[in-house]
Structure 1
Amino acid sequence: MNGRHVREDYSARAAEYVEFLGDIEQMDEIDRERIGIWAEGIDGRVLDAGCGPGHWTAFLADRGHDVEGIDLVPEFIAHASTRYPHVPYRVAALERTGIEGGSLGGILAWYSLIHADAEELPALLAGARLLLRPGGRLLLGFFDGVDGEPFAHAVTTAHYWSIEGMTALLEGAGFSVVDSEARVQDGRRPHASISAIAVRSD
């Protein structure tokens, strides 16, 4: 995943992305319930890593969570900061958050790691684990499929992962998987998500 290319590709289509995928009401009710229930068990600060237009960050903030959204794309951060002025947003990457290690209670990475390939993803997951306190929670959303297989995403190349494959990567990064879910809907690529807890920091 070349961060500069991902940023440039999303920047070029930011207005289109915001229009079609930038409102919480455009998200599946199943996902709103999934993320809401996941967040109920978090003690402490939450990071929405790869927050895009900021709707999930605001969704969590409106439910009383201490949450911040970060994204590589300045256009997304500008939109989010204007639309949700009560929520903190800034331009940053998961591997360079500026956040003290072990200080977070939760990280939401909802479709924000889909552009990382098999060589890059383990380091990103390990970095997320280092930001979390022991027992901190991670929730990943991703496309379900053959591990690491690339495909032509609407914006830039993305990768599929199976639940089994992603589970192995999470366990290797110091997480224990709590639960997972998957579904297939007409006209959409297969979806999966995994909830995991940070169980070690070495």
Structure 2
Amino acid sequence: MKKAAIRRSYTEIADVYILKFGSVADVDPEDLAFLKRNLGDCDGAVLDAGCGPGHLTAYLSNLGLSARGISTLCRASSTVRGHSGRESTFRSVRCAASMSPTTR
């Protein structure tokens, strides 16, 4: 399968994925405990590469970390801007050029 076809497939299911898995409430508590235990005291920035809907990026940010999420899906990364109580950065490598400077 070519990259363009794979990208189209991911884009087509992004809304369903976000509905089913796009919340911290959908994450196994053991996984969240693992992230907190292993990254909770991190001094530097944390990059969530392939962040999808960004729910784990927001979780890490809410732990007080400087968390950044990056995704190839515009739709997924744009849905997470409101998930975090703290300021987080979410970017899509595909739509960053089309975003206004205030949302980059």
TM-score computed with the length of structure 1 as normaliser = 0.42
SS at match of 1:61: helix
Map of 1:57-72 to 2, 5 A cutoff?
57-72=57-72
SS at match of 2:68: strand
Partner of 2:7: 7
Question: Structure 1 residue runs of 4+, over 6 Å off?
Answer: none
How many angstroms does 1:42 deviate by? 2.2
Q: 1: distance between equivalents of 2:5 and 2:80?
A: 21
The structure with higher relative contact order (CA 8 Å, sep 6+) is 2
Percentage of pairs with the same residue? 29
Greater helix share, 1 or 2? 2
Q: Deviations over 1:46-88 (max 9, x none)?
A: 1000001110000000000001100011111111124448311
Greater strand share, 1 or 2? 1
- Stretches of structure 2 that go unaligned for 5 or more consecutive residues are 95-104
Q: 1: distance between equivalents of 2:35 and 2:3?
A: 26
Q: Does 1:26 align with 2:26?
A: yes
Partner of 2:92: 91
How many angstroms does 1:41 deviate by? 4.2
Read off the aligned partner of 2:15 and give its amino acid letter: A
The two structures, once aligned, show a CA RMSD in angstroms of 2.1
Q: Does 1:56 align with 2:56?
A: yes
Partner of 1:78: 78
- Stretches of structure 1 that go unaligned for 5 or more consecutive residues are 94-202
SS at match of 2:42: coil
How many angstroms does 1:92 deviate by? 2.4
SS at match of 2:63: coil
Map of 1:152-171 to 2, 5 A cutoff?
none
Larger Rg, first or second structure (1 or 2): 1
TM-score computed with the length of structure 2 as normaliser = 0.78
Read off the aligned partner of 2:9 and give its amino acid letter: D
Q: 1: distance between equivalents of 2:59 and 2:70?
A: 15
